[in-house]
Amino acid sequence: MSAAATPAPQRKSQRRGVLVDRILLYGVAVLLALWTLVPIYLIAIAAFSEKVAVFEYPKALLPTRFSTETMEFFVGSSGVITSVKNSVIVALGTIVVALALGAPAGYALSRFRFPGRDAFQLAVLSSKMFPIAILAIPLAVTFIDLGLYDKLIGVIIIHSAMVLPFVIIVTAGVFATVSRELEEAAQTLGTSRLGAFMRVALPLALPGLAAAAIFAFVTSWNEVFAATILTLRERTLPALVVASLNQSPLYFKFAGGFFLIIPSLFFIWFMRKYLFNLWGPGR
């Protein structure tokens, strides 16, 4: 449609419509950003102020009295360093187990028509139907029987089970976007079936796998309930913070909260280029 053919008022209203869309879009984006950033900011201020600043009211919106006192206290508390180490081990272990099991399952779902395929897909999802709160006690009993209770491997298994459905569904979707002809081309050029997967499908699926890894990491890092129930001494960081919540002062909680946020932010920071590849204009 040429500009001259459109009556002027209509053009103006169209332009106004675009403007309104823009304002709405950016408005919502800003709101969402504030929604996550403001609490992080407040926690950060509290974590890096003197202990007494936490109890002041009204709150200072700017870090007026910067101090590492609170953080030092938190890091110095008994069990914190160990539980951070535990959390890292569990989160990384969860990524490894969930991807090692989930990626092949997702690949199979996207590539092969096998009997029971739909039922399998449904079963994967339906495992999310049971809240961990209901499963916790029987699981604890089973884990005690199996000798997995209060062991990090036990927490890794539970966390892997929690993220697996998501990992399977996401990787199935990712592999579905990798054309089968690409793998076939690799095979005609001299790779085996597995070689074609490793050299072509896997590199192309990397962004999606990174997203799944982020999800696994963040889920495991933040997971409290199962970790609390299934461990006693080998606490992960959230489990430790929760367990000591009642006995700990407010500034300890802020420091713990801040400490819990940081690794997730770093992990997402490192993975973000893969995410942009997946959703951005890169491909």
Partner 1 sequence: MSSVSFEAVRKVFGKTVALPGVDLLVRDGEFMVLLGPSGCGKTTLLRCLAGLERIDGGSVRIGDREVSDLPPRDRNIAMVFQSYAVFPHMKVYDNIAFGLRMRKKPKPEIERRVKEGAALLQLEPYLDRYPAQLSGGQRQRVAVARAIVTDSPVLLMDEPLSNLDALLRLHARAELKRLHTDVKRTTVYVTHDQIEALSMGDRIAVMKDGEIVQVDSPSIIYDRPASVFVGSFIGSPPMNFLKCAARDGHAVGDGWEVPGPPGMDGKPLLLGIRPENIRIGQGPLRGRVIVAEPLGSHTLLTVQVGKDSLKVVAPADDVFKPDQSLQIAPEPHKIRWMDEASGTAIAAPN
d(CA 227, CA 79): 15
Q: Does 177 bind partner 1 (CB under 8 A)?
A: no
Instruction: Pick the closer one to partner 1 by CB: 202 or 224.
Output: 202
Q: What are phi and psi of 49, to 5 degrees?
A: -115, 170
Total binding residues toward partner 1, as defined by CB under 8 A: 18
Q: Looking up tokens 């209509």, which residue turns up?
A: 10
Residue 28, interface with partner 1 (CB under 8 A)? Answer: no
Nearer to partner 1, 72 or 184 (CB): 184
Least spacing, CB of residue 198 vs partner 1, in Å: 12
Closest separation in Å from C-beta 96 to partner 1: 23
- Least distance (Å) from partner 1 to the CB of residue 200? 6
Reported for 53-59, long-range contacts at CB under 8 A and 24+ positions apart, including other chains, are: 54/250, 54/251, 54/254, 55/250
In the complex, least distance from residue 188 CB atom to partner 1, rounded to whole angstroms = 4
Q: Is 174 in the site for partner 1 (CB under 8 A)?
A: no
Buried b (16+ CB within 10 A) or exposed e, 140-174: beebeeeebbbebebbbbbbbbbbbbbbbbbbbeb
Interface map 180-219 toward partner 1 (x if CB under 8 A): -xx-xxxxxxxxxx-x----x--xx---------------
Identify which of residues 146 and 185 has a Cβ nearer to partner 1 in the complex: 185
Q: Which residues contact 217 (CB under 8 A, 6 or more apart)?
A: 91, 92, 94, 95, 264, 267
The minimum distance between CB 277 and partner 1, in angstroms, equals: 10
Q: From CA 187, how far away is CA 282, in angstroms rounded?
A: 27
Under the rule (CB under 8 A), what is the footprint of partner 1?
Answer: 179, 181-182, 184-193, 195, 200, 203-204, 283
